[in-house]
Amino acid sequence: MLEEAFLSKDINFVRNSSPKGIKNGSSHAFEEVVVMCHPRFRCFMTDGIVGDVLKVLLGKYGKQWDTKMALQIVGKTPIEAATAIVEDYKLPCTTDEFMSEITPMFSERWCNIRALPGANRLIKHLKQHGVPMALASNSPRESIETKLSYHQGWKESFSAIVGGDEVRMGKPSPEIFLEAAKLLNAEPSNCLVIEDSFKKLVDFQTPNVTIETDGSSPRPGVGGAKAAGMEVVAVPSYPKQSHLYASADEVVNSLLDLRPEIWGLPPFQDWINGTLPIEPWYIGGPVIKGYGRGSKVLGIPTANLSTEGWSDILSYHPSGVYFGWAGLSTRGVYKMVMSIGWNPYFNNTENTIEPWLLHDFNEDFYGEELRLAIVGYIRPEANFSSLESLISKIHEDGKISEEALDLPLYATYKDVPSVKNPLQLNEHP
């Protein structure tokens, strides 16, 4: 959507060796591997900025931004997207005038862009291993460099940068991918693209909005990369949309789940006993009743939290299984494992926060204040062939979490003030 058009952000990585990447039972020898990450890429979190800017600007014309419009501008360059908006909303201005208004509004907000979970880790990892990287984006070159300037070391990590104003056609044309490979002296067939070109089209808390597509056409970035003769790893940014990336060679839930070694790149070495340390984040609130299936169906009682007020945090962090510490206002601090997301097995219609406190309680504690310190990641959400296999996996997650939280790396967060005393809000390290 507009994240792609105005905020495109892609990354490319190349390796000058010939290990094998294995996918779908076949092997591919990569003499060079290019990884490109798209728009809001799993590099930058720009949804809020785009929405804010469009709401303000269209409001000046008495119009209201409709996220369904995103489908019409997916993968377009800024000029193409601006033209579509001006025409669709029948704005009393030219495309150039619209661009002259919106460009400064975005520029003022670039300093607020956050790197998405796993982006900085991936860039640093590949740079440390001498993997040349190029960045290709539908955004103008100047805009790309402005965004990069707010993230230390990022610009210097790329051997080449290609902006949408430096090619004749943006995605889904393969031109921008081919130009990036050319600048890296890489054969397109030896290039791996990490692509996230189908942006979040509706509010995080309203996943029931139908996205009208037959799923037969590839997403702009995926289609462009495949047309260029490259391998593609897709990183969907919206839940339950993996089927839209059928033409990709692999689909992963988030950058946290990327396994570079599958594609002949150096493996990450930061997983510890089945867990990935992350920058801690904190949420909390009164314990609420969930679907009633934790105790009754699974035999695993969860202390659910409302997602109200946490949409920004939850849209920032990938869905999946995490672990950390849970503080109850009248009971103490406990180890916990939790899932956030839509629970594929039960096919939830809304996002949920479902912590399982790894302790046997004699009574319910609905309404009690619960504060969570989330310190590590285990895996993405997954579907299961049976209820028994789901229960087994949850218990495995619990065992992994219980053992990991004894490690000093994680144990230190047990003493965070807001966890030890849940009534002390926003007191984090």
Q: Which residue, chain included where needed, has tokens 């150096």?
A: 266
DSSP symbols for 84-148: HHHHHTT-SS-HHHHHHHHHHHHHTTGGGPEEPTTHHHHHHHHHHTT--EEEE-SS-HHHHHHHH
Q: Assess whether 354 carries a catalytic annotation.
A: yes
The separation between CA 257 and the C-alpha centre of its own chain, rounded to angstroms, equals 10
Annotated active-site residue in 179, 231, 250, 354:
354
Residues in the chain: 429
3-state helix/strand/coil string of 39-69: CCHHHEECHHHHHHHHHHHHHHCCCCCCHHH
Inter-CA distances, 322 with 15, 183, 278, 356, 411, Å: 32, 40, 10, 10, 15
- Rounded to 5 degrees, φ, ψ at 150 are -85, 0
- Name the DSSP class of 263: B
- 3-state SS assignment for residue 139: coil
Read off the tokens for 157.
């990590």
- For residue 318, the one-letter residue type is P
Q: How far apart are CA 360 and CA 372, in angstroms?
A: 18
Q: How far apart are CA 316 and CA 330, in angstroms?
A: 31
Read off the tokens for 181.
């490979």
Q: How far apart are CA 374 and CA 279, in angstroms?
A: 8
Catalytic residues: 354
